[in-house]
Amino acid sequence: MMEAVRTVFSKYATFTGRARRAEFWWFVLFYIIVNFILGLIDSVLFGTTTTTETSFSAETDTPILSGIFWLATIIPYIAVGVRRLHDTNRSGWWLLLGFIPLIGAIILIVWFATGGDRGRNRFGDDPIDGSGGGDAGGEADYAETSIPKV
């Protein structure tokens, strides 16, 4: 996971090339976990805390820490999304589908979960076969298959 996060941050604003599924999804998991933790810290430090005998509630209208994290990660988050779309031989402009409620998000999730093109495509070398770099998961050595490429 940390290797994928390092790779994404080392390509902070790189919108060219390709990103494998592992690189993208590990970064998304990292983003969700850190954002959740920072949201909790924001609620406790800067929010209203209500404690009763049976419950605890904390909320905030000023998400300072999670807002700073969002500002620091929005560009690499978009960049890795664009590179992930490139791996499936789609233009990064398809990321704008996310602005269409529900349907756009579903389509993007399916595309992000789809395996990338084998070999070189119009966006660069295959990140899995080792020719394109970006081996975030350490799985670059796949055995050759007898299944014909279609």
Q: Over 70: is that where the pLDDT of 139 sits?
A: no
- Alpha-carbon distance of 38 to 36, in angstroms, equals 6
Q: Over 90: is that where the pLDDT of 65 sits?
A: yes
- Residue 32 host element (H or E): helix 21-46
Pick the residue with more confidence: 132 or 31?
A: 31
- Alpha-carbon distance of 65 to 45, in angstroms, equals 10
pLDDT grade for 61, boundaries at 50, 70 and 90: confident
- Paired tokens of 49: 């805390």
Whole-structure pTM value: 0.75
Burial (0-12, 13-18, 19+ Cβ within 10 Å), 121: middle
pLDDT grade for 131, boundaries at 50, 70 and 90: low
Task: Answer yes or no: are the C-beta atoms of 26 and 136 closer than 8 Å.
Answer: yes
Calculate mean pLDDT across residues 36-58.
83
